[in-house]
C-alpha cells in the first residue's frame, strides 16, 4: 500500500485501490487495542434520481435511509447486527444527505467482523414482508423526528432558502414517500450505488497495511461497475424564497432558525477552503469571548444559540438555531452585526484565536477513530484528501475572511423560521422588563 505523508498530521496512513476499484485506507495506531472499520457508500438522502444503463430512475425521499436499515438482513436469515455482537463488536450505520456509512469497533476477532461488514454491503436481501415491517418502524422514527423543535425549525428554514436542493430533505423521508419503497426498488438502488468505486473503506488500528489490504481483496465480493451518474443539478438562486416563516409549537419560548445559503465550489481544495473561510467568519463574530453574544445574553435578548453549518458540492448552508423571547430582535441584531463586520472587518485578535481553535479542533478530531475515518471518506468523495484539512484552515487569511463576509453574509440573504409558542407568556413581565 502507498504511504501518505502529511505536514501537520502525525498519522501513519496507507492507501490503495482494489482491482475492483474500492479505495482502502489503513490508519495505523501502533499499540492501540481497539480496532475500527468504516465503509461509506456514495448514496444519501439527497440522491433521488440517477442515470443508469441509458435510463433515468427516480427514487422516493427516504430511500437511502430505508436501505441502510435493510442492509443488515442476510440471505441465510441472520442479521448482521447479531453477528457483530456475537463476535464482540459494536456496530452502527448512519445516512446523511450525500452518503450512507456502516461501521464497527472491536478489540478482538477483527477479521471475522470485517468479513461481516463486507458481506453486509455486498449481499443484499430484501423481501416484501421485511420491507413492510421496516416501513412501520421508520414511520415511527419519522413521527418522533417531527416532534423535535430543532429539526422542525431547520427544515422550515431550508424551505425558505432553497427550491429543490437536498438541503431541504429529511433523510428519513415522509410516511407518504416511504410507502412507495419496494424490494425491487431497493435491489435497483443497490445495483446503481453499491459499487466499489462509489465506496470508501477506512480501517483504523494496529495493523500491517499490506496484510489487511490482502484480506479485503479476498473477502470483498462486489464486482467493478460503472459509478452512478447523479441526474442534473438543482436550480438555486441563493436568495430567500421568503424572508419569514412560522409554525405554532408547544414550547414556553420561541425556537427559531436563522440562516442563508451561498454558492460554493463543487469539489476539491476550493470547496474545503470556502467552508473554512465561512465557518471562521461566523465564529469570529459569534464566539462567546467576542463582544456580540455576551451583550445579547446580558441584556436577556437571547438564551441559547448553536451553529449548524453544512457544506455541499455547490452550496454552503450557514444556519443558527436559537432560543429567545423576541426572534425579530435577534434577527435584526445579528444581521446588523454581520453588516458591521463586513464593513469594518473582523477583530484581528479574534480572527487569530478562532482560526487556531478551528485548526486544533480538526487535529483533535483525528484522535477519534470515527472522526478520522469519516473525514477521509467524506472528503475523498469531494475530490480532496481529508487529512489536509488542517493545512487549508491554517492557510486562511484575515483578508479572505473579510471578503467572505462582504460577499456571502449580506443581510438580504438571510431568512428566519420561528416555532411560535401556542400560548406565549408575557416575557416582559417575567424578566422585569429586560426584553
CA–CA dist 389, 280 (Å, integer): 14
pLDDT tens column, 90-141? 999 999 999 999 999 999 999 999 999 999 999 999 999 999 999 999 999 9
Residue 424 in this model has a pLDDT that exceeds 70: no
The pLDDT, as a whole number, for residue 178 is 96
Domain layout of the chain by residue ranges? 2-230, 244-430
* Distance spanning both ends of the chain, measured CA to CA: 62
Count of beta carbons in the 10 Å neighbourhood of residue 263 = 14
> Which residues face 52 on adjacent strands?
55
Residue 224 in this model has a pLDDT that exceeds 90: no
pLDDT band at 435 (very low <50, low <70, confident <90, very high): very low
Nearest CA to 170 among 311, 64, 313, 40?
64
Homologous superfamily assigned to 244-430: Metalloenzyme, LuxS/M16 peptidase-like (3.30.830.10)
CA–CA dist 364, 396 (Å, integer): 19
CA 86-91-92 angle, to 5 degrees, is 145
The answer to whether 371 and 36 have CB atoms below 8 angstroms apart is no
pLDDT (average), residues 261-278: 94
CA–CA dist 101, 98 (Å, integer): 10
CA–CA dist 281, 347 (Å, integer): 10
pLDDT (average), residues 284-302: 91
How confident is the prediction for the chain on average, in pLDDT?
Answer: 92
* 312 or 274: which leads in pLDDT: 274
Q: What is the pTM of this model?
A: 0.91
pLDDT (average), residues 224-248: 84
CA–CA dist 274, 188 (Å, integer): 35
Residue 386 in this model has a pLDDT that exceeds 90: yes
Give the whole-number percent of the chain exceeding pLDDT 70: 96
Strand (E) or helix (H) holding 364: helix 348-365
pLDDT tens column, 153-209? 999 999 999 988 888 889 999 999 999 999 999 999 999 999 999 999 999 999 999
Residue 327 in this model has a pLDDT that exceeds 80: yes
pLDDT band at 234 (very low <50, low <70, confident <90, very high): low
Count of beta carbons in the 10 Å neighbourhood of residue 171 = 22
**Least confident segment among 227-231, 247-251, 343-347:** 227-231
Q: Which of 145-154, 218-227, 288-297, 323-332 has the highest mean pLDDT?
A: 323-332
Phi, psi for residue 193 in degrees, rounded to 5: -100, -30
Right CATH for 2-230 from 3.90.940.20, 3.40.309.10, 3.30.830.10, 3.40.50.720:
3.30.830.10
Residue 395 in this model has a pLDDT that exceeds 50: yes
DSSP H helical segments within 94-162, as ranges?
A: 110-122, 128-145, 149-161
pLDDT tens column, 350-383? 999 999 999 999 999 999 999 999 999 999 999 9
Amino acid at each position: 500500500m502507498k504511504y501518505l505523508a502529511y505536514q501537520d498530521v502525525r498519522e501513519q496512513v496507507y492507501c490503495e485501490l482494489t482491482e475492483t476499484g474500492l479505495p482502502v485506507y489503513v490508519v495505523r495506531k501502533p499499540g492501540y487495542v481497539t480496532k475500527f472499520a468504516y465503509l461509506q457508500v456514495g448514496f444519501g438522502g439527497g440522491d433521488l434520481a440517477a442515470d443508469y444503463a441509458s435510463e433515468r430512475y427516480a427514487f422516493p425521499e427516504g430511500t437511502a435511509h430505508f436501505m441502510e436499515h435493510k442492509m443488515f438482513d442476510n440471505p441465510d436469515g441472520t442479521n448482521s447486527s447479531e453477528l457483530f455482537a456475537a463476535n464482540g463488536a459494536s456496530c452502527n450505520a448512519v445516512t446523511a444527505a450525500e452518503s450512507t456509512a456502516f461501521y464497527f469497533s472491536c478489540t478482538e476477532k477483527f477479521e471475522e467482523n470485517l468479513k461481516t461488514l463486507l458481506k453486509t454491503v455486498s449481499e443484499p436481501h430484501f423481501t416484501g414482508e421485511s420491507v413492510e415491517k421496516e416501513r412501520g418502524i421508520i414511520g415511527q422514527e419519522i413521527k418522533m423526528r417531527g416532534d423535535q423543535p430543532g429539526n422542525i425549525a431547520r427544515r422550515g428554514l431550508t424551505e425558505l432558502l432553497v427550491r429543490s436542493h437536498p438541503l431541504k430533505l429529511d433523510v428519513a423521508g415522509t410516511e407518504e414517500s416511504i410507502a412507495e419503497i419496494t424490494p425491487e426498488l431497493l435491489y435497483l438502488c443497490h445495483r446503481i450505488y453499491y459499487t466499489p468505486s462509489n465506496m470508501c473503506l477506512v480501517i483504523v488500528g494496529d495493523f500491517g497495511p499490506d496484510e489487511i489490504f490482502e484480506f479485503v481483496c479476498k473477502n470483498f465480493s462486489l464486482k467493478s461497475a460503472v459509478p452512478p451518474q447523479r441526474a442534473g443539478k438543482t436550480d438555486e438562486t441563493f436568495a430567500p424564497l421568503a424572508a419569514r416563516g412560522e409554525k405554532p409549537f408547544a414550547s414556553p419560548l420561541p425556537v427559531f432558525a436563522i440562516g442563508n445559503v451561498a454558492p460554493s465550489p463543487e469539489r476539491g481544495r476550493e470547496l474545503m477552503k470556502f467552508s473554512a473561510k465561512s465557518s471562521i467568519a461566523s465564529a469570529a463574530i459569534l464566539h462567546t469571548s467576542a463582544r456580540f453574544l455576551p451583550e445579547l445574553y446580558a441584556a436577556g435578548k437571547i438564551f441559547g444559540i448553536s451553529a449548524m453549518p453544512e457544506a455541499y458540492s455547490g452550496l454552503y448552508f450557514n444556519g443558527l438555531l436559537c432560543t429567545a423571547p423576541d426572534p425579530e430582535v435577534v434577527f435584526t441584531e445579528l444581521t446588523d452585526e454581520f453588516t458591521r463586520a463586513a464593513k469594518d472587518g473582523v477583530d484581528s485578535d479574534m480572527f487569530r484565536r478562532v482560526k487556531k481553535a478551528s485548526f486544533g479542533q480538526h487535529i483533535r478530531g483525528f484522535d477519534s477513530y470515527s472522526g478520522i475515518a469519516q473525514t477521509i471518506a467524506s472528503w475523498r468523495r469531494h475530490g480532496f484528501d481529508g487529512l489536509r484539512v488542517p493545512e487549508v484552515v491554517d492557510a486562511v487569511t484575515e483578508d479572505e475572511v473579510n471578503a467572505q463576509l462582504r460577499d456571502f453574509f449580506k443581510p438580504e440573504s438571510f431568512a428566519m423560521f420561528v416555532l411560535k409558542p401556542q400560548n406565549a407568556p408575557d416575557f416582559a413581565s417575567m424578566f422585569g422588563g429586560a426584553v
